[in-house]
Amino acid sequence: MGHSTQYYRDNPEARAKKQAYDKKLNSRKEQIQKRVESNAKVREYTKKHGYKPSSKGLQYDHAVNRMVAAAANQGRRGEGNR
């Protein structure tokens, strides 16, 4: 279990604050459009290549405009200062 996961489990007030922030962030037009685009790319990829165990864990990366491993996509510094 990650450090942040444990922190939010142990601190319900902080968890509620984060959930409120995430709800606000994810309802922005840019975020909605990004999810729509990402979902469409995943559907397109699955339709073209079929669903395989090797495609599990892939995500559409807006920075490089292709499917990449989730760890590479979420671990990259850049947009959103992740």
- Condensed to tens digits (0 to 9), the pLDDT of residues 34-68 reads 889 888 988 888 888 877 666 677 888 877 888 88
How much is the average pLDDT of 18-41?
Answer: 93
How much is the average pLDDT of 1-26?
Answer: 94
Predicted pLDDT of residue 44: 87
Q: What angle do CA 5, 41, 59 make, to 5 degrees?
A: 30
What's the pLDDT band for 19 if we cut at 50, 70, 90?
A: very high
Instruction: Round to whole Å and give the CA distance between 58 and 54.
Output: 8
